[in-house]
A = this chain, B = another copy of it.
Amino acid sequence: MSQKKELRIGIAGLGVVGGGLLKLLEGPSPRVGGGRLKVVAVSARNRSRKRDVDISAYEWFDDPVDLAAKQDIDVLVELIGGSDGPAKKAVEIALKRGAHVVTANKALLAMHGEELAALSEETGGRILFEAAVGGGMPIVKAVKESLAGSLVYALSGILNGTCNYLLSEMETSGRKYEDVLADAQRLGYAEADPTMDVGGFDAAHKICILAAIAFRARPDFAHVGIEGVEAITLDDIRLAGKLGYRIKLVAKAERIGEAVSLHVRPALLAFDHPLASIMGSLNAALVDADPVGRLTFIGRGAGAGPTASAVAADLMDLLEGRGGPAFGAPLGELAPAARAQPEERGRFYMRLIVNDRPGVIAAVSDCLAKEKISIESFLQMPAAPDAPTVPIVLTTQPCARVALDAAAKRIESLEAVAAPPRIMPIEETDAHPHFWN
């Protein structure tokens, strides 16, 4: 691929991001590309919808697949979304005829990344997707290119701004999940159906993509353990805080021996953990790699501006002849997805709801002792005036997750325990050990 005089661009999807991109690329003095990034055609659901930008100069397509098939378009910018349907079809059509694709579609890449990378290698059409992970935070390029000289051990991040906003709001306002979510929906920070975000699926798509690049393995969405934020209570946030932790939805990919562990789930971070201070809708990522050490990236993970900026950077890569294989290396050099979920060890948080009666604490700690799990801290707060139950939280010393699950089964069967124990991992603050320096 070499430098081009200009790129003829078709944009499929003119929502918030598509509109922002047009604003960035067009107008009397374009902000990027010096006029060499030329939008020639667009497609969206509704041609006549009122928009900030004038689209009358572009060829219009009702169907994004027809737009993708248009022979004189060098790059399809896919901003439709969704892992299947028209987005997938349009991307395939473009790649099949050797055109390039720039997309912000994490679901598509997580679910069909391998297939699309194969198509891209076949025809020479490239697929770039900086905007799919972390919005304007340039984490895809960093892992793909800047970390080419290091071996990644672990990658963890706050990759869903909606969840982080909800958790931040619960903590600062002291209001419960349902109320904060309803407000966020009213303000447009959360979708009417928030499942993709609050269920952890969006963050799972993103960590799946990053892990493929970082570990040089084929993307494998089925392998991601996913847990959302819906079950986090104000008690969890408050009691974890008293023990010195903040609860975050952490997306994490970790090399354990030859296997890779992939998770999205709520976790406890000590207040001095680098991700603990990421509040509101920000995104952040930590990469621990050898020999580069720990790298931290923070930025705005969504919105018209950051996302359009990331799409524009990908377009500039194509214009200037950069941009390599989809996942950083040809498919043939990627390891098959390492499906084995290695046994997890670490420190954990456990929250119990108990009927406040003598002997409960002794019974709980006995269940843990039977699995040889030592308690690190234990906290019971006074029960609310006429509340029949009271929350108890504890943190463990390092132990095997399977042992903790076994202890939790025992605890659940105690008569005084009113609900299944809630377990969350504690993320350690220190970087992975590395070998040099």
Binds B, one of A77-85, A288-296, A395-403, A418-426: A288-296
Contact: A313 with B1, CB < 8 Å? no
Residue with the highest number of chain B CB atoms closer than 10 Å, among A145, A147, A292, A333: A292
Contact: A300 with B294, CB < 8 Å? yes
| Cα of A138 to Cα of B143 in the assembled complex, Å | 10
List residues of chain B with CB within 8 A of the CB of A313: 145-149
Interface mask (A310-324 → B, CB under 8 Å = 1, otherwise 0): 111101110011111
Contact: B136 with A309, CB < 8 Å? no
| Cα of A374 to Cα of B153 in the assembled complex, Å | 52
| Cα of A436 to Cα of B277 in the assembled complex, Å | 25
Taking the complex as formed, is A142 at the interface, i.e. its CB lies under 8 A from any CB of chain B? yes
Contact: A321 with B1, CB < 8 Å? yes
Interface mask (A270-301 → B, CB under 8 Å = 1, otherwise 0): 00001001000000000001111111111110
Contact: A316 with B20, CB < 8 Å? no
Taking the complex as formed, is A150 at the interface, i.e. its CB lies under 8 A from any CB of chain B? yes
List residues of chain B with CB within 8 A of the CB of A142: 138, 141-142, 146
Contact: A436 with B20, CB < 8 Å? yes
Q: How far is the CB of A363 from chain B (nearest CB, A)?
A: 43
Taking the complex as formed, is A306 at the interface, i.e. its CB lies under 8 A from any CB of chain B? yes
List residues of chain B with CB within 8 A of the CB of A317: 145
List residues of chain B with CB within 8 A of the CB of A311: 149
Q: How far is the CB of A379 from chain B (nearest CB, A)?
A: 27
Taking the complex as formed, is A31 at the interface, i.e. its CB lies under 8 A from any CB of chain B? yes
Taking the complex as formed, is A204 at the interface, i.e. its CB lies under 8 A from any CB of chain B? no
Taking the complex as formed, is A2 at the interface, i.e. its CB lies under 8 A from any CB of chain B? yes
Residue with the highest number of chain B CB atoms closer than 10 Å, among A23, A141, A304, A305: A305
List residues of chain B with CB within 8 A of the CB of A137: 295
Contact: A292 with B321, CB < 8 Å? no
Taking the complex as formed, is A55 at the interface, i.e. its CB lies under 8 A from any CB of chain B? no
Q: How far is the CB of A16 from chain B (nearest CB, A)?
A: 9
Taking the complex as formed, is A303 at the interface, i.e. its CB lies under 8 A from any CB of chain B? yes
List residues of chain B with CB within 8 A of the CB of A296: 296-299
Interface mask (A137-164 → B, CB under 8 Å = 1, otherwise 0): 1100110011111110000000000000
Q: Given that A141-B141, A292-B136, A293-B299 are contacting pairs, would A34 and B333 also be in contact in the complex, using a CB cutoff of 8 Å?
A: yes
**Contacts of A204-227 to chain B: CB distance below 8 A:** none
Contact: A305 with B31, CB < 8 Å? no
List residues of chain B with CB within 8 A of the CB of A20: 291, 436-437
Contact: B321 with A293, CB < 8 Å? no
Provide a sorted-by-A list of 17 A–B residue pairs whose CB atoms are within 8 angstroms: A1-B321, A20-B291, A32-B149, A138-B142, A138-B146, A141-B145, A145-B313, A145-B316, A148-B316, A149-B310, A150-B309, A292-B300, A293-B303, A293-B305, A295-B297, A303-B437, A304-B437
- Which residues of chain A have a CB within 8 Å of any CB of chain B? 1-2, 20, 23-24, 31-32, 34, 130, 136-138, 141-142, 145-151, 274, 277, 289-300, 303-306, 308-313, 315-317, 320-324, 333, 434, 436-437
